[in-house]
Structure 1
């Protein structure tokens, strides 16, 4: 969905993925690049809108989720308008590098923040981040 939002002109939308304190769930928040808004708990929003069942596959396509996200979060997204070619390219390549069930995360809430130069994945791979952080 984020790749779709980037295509639609919200290039300053950033993603912060992390593992919950219990270690049982993956979470993701959206922030605007300038951090002018409160983050949005995107992973929770996607599950509620996608099917309201954390165990089931999400039924909506990334395009459909983006349509709905824009309608429901336009005030947040207004702060994300613009191009950010470096981040958009990095994000797209990062997503394409993941396997089907692999999830990236910047930190583990119960443990530690890894640093600004990499994220880990659920397959124990390191993903190099941009020099200015996620």
Structure 2
């Protein structure tokens, strides 16, 4: 969905993926690089589409999810408009290199932060980050 949002001009939107303290769930925050103190819990937003039922599968395409996300979160997204070619290219390649059930995470919330030059995946692969992290 974020890759689709980047295509639609929200290039200042960044992803902060992480593992919950229990290690049982993957979470994702979205942040506008211009207003780094404002985040949106994308994983909670996605869960809200399941109406609290973890067994419900979301069958929307990334484009359909992006349409719905824009509709429901336009106030958060508007300041994210802009272009960030280097990040957008990195993010797109990173997503394309993930396997079907593999998720990236910048850190886990058990107080362990990875070095800023890479993230890990749920398959324990390293993803090199951009120089600014």
TM-score by structure 1 length?
0.93
CA contact 1:47–1:58 (8 Å) conserved in 2: no
Number of aligned residue pairs: 132
Separation in 1 of the partners of 2:37 and 2:71?
17
CA contact 1:16–1:105 (8 Å) conserved in 2: yes
CA contact 1:94–1:127 (8 Å) conserved in 2: yes
1:66 equivalent in structure 2: 66
Runs of 4+ more than 4 Å apart = none
- Structure 2: runs of 5 or more not aligned: none
In the TM superposition, residue 36 of structure 1 has moved relative to its aligned partner by: 4.8
Separation in 1 of the partners of 2:35 and 2:115?
18
1:4 equivalent in structure 2: 4
In the TM superposition, residue 72 of structure 1 has moved relative to its aligned partner by: 1.2
1:100 and 2:100 equivalent? yes
RMSD (Å), alpha carbons: 1.2
Separation in 2 of the partners of 1:127 and 1:90?
10
In the TM superposition, residue 78 of structure 1 has moved relative to its aligned partner by: 1.1
Separation in 2 of the partners of 1:34 and 1:55?
36
Whichever structure has more strand as a proportion of its residues is: 2
TM-score by structure 2 length?
0.94
1:84 equivalent in structure 2: 84
Q: Cα deviation per residue 1:15-70 (whole Å; 9 max; x = unaligned)?
A: 00000011100000000012355211101111222x33333322111111111111
- Structure 1: runs of 5 or more not aligned: none
Separation in 2 of the partners of 1:101 and 1:55?
16
